Amino acid sequence: MLTAIAYGLAVLLNLFIIFIGVRFFLVPRAAAAGYGVPAKKDGDAAYLTIKGLRDSSYGVLGLALLAFVGAHAEAWYMLVVALVPLGDTVIVLRHGGTKAVAFGIHFATAVVVLISAALLFAV
């Protein structure tokens, strides 16, 4: 049962970050607003594309680790990658985003990723 939960949560988190990355490719301005720091109308769209590529790559790498290396490698990956939503929390707060988005989305995501890592270490 624990193994199914650990793997299921890891797969779900990786698919979710792929979804977020694809969203930054398809609707970058809406995705940036959802991130918590709206993009400037005259801003450089390349940065939004970079965010999409970063997130998509993280999700694909996580799925590959889980499929080809196993739970222990995925656990270490999740532990390290939890730094990203923690950093996103700070970015949102420093650039005018709301505390609700910073903590309710980004910090909460970091906590869920850390829970995923703990579950994967346990299997």
- At 9-45, the pLDDT tens digits run 999 999 999 999 999 999 999 999 999 999 988 887 8
What is the model's pLDDT at position 45?
Answer: 85
Q: Kindly report each contact of residues 102-111 with a partner whose C-beta sits within 8 Å and lies 24 or more positions away, as own/partner.
A: 102/36, 105/36, 106/36, 109/85, 110/82, 110/84, 110/85, 110/86
The answer, yes or no, to whether residue 74 has pLDDT greater than 90, is yes
What is the model's pLDDT at position 43?
Answer: 81
The average confidence (pLDDT) of the chain is 96
Side-chain half-sphere CA neighbours of 121 within 13 A: 11
The phi, psi pair for 96, rounded to 5°, reads 85, 5
Domain tally, the chain = 1
What is the model's pLDDT at position 5?
Answer: 97
- Per the structure, the complete domain to which residue 105 belongs is given by 2-122
